Amino acid sequence: MSKAETEIPKGSYAAGERVKLPAGAEPPFTVFINGIEQSRESYRIEAGEIVFDGPIVKEKVGTGRWLAMYLGLFGTYRKNETIDLQFTRNGKIELRSDLPVIPYAEGEAP
């Protein structure tokens, strides 16, 4: 199943398909979703952003669930994808973790 065909599980939502590159980031880029390196076919670099071929899925955390996690009553086991990026800046290799996903515009989500 490709990323574009990813089913959105209950308790999660399609957050968006784009992540802004950090200022000054230069190739080579290595993109990870949940720590797994992504093939170059699953995304493209466009106008200072990483554009994925499907939605990045994030967990919905309501007040009650957040409070229960905060109090240590239980953790979370829902799908929550994080985007990490390895890149070069000023000749040095850098890594940024959990880059924020650019949300879909109103009515744009799949």
- Residue 13: predicted pLDDT: 78
Distance CA 15, CA 18 (A): 9
Please give the domain boundaries of the chain with CATH numbers for all domains: 3-102 (2.60.40)
Half-sphere exposure of 76 (CA within 13 A, CB side): 20
- pLDDT tens string 34-75: 999 999 999 999 999 999 999 998 876 556 555 555 566 655
- Residue 27: predicted pLDDT: 96
pLDDT at 31 over 90: yes
- Residue 40: predicted pLDDT: 94
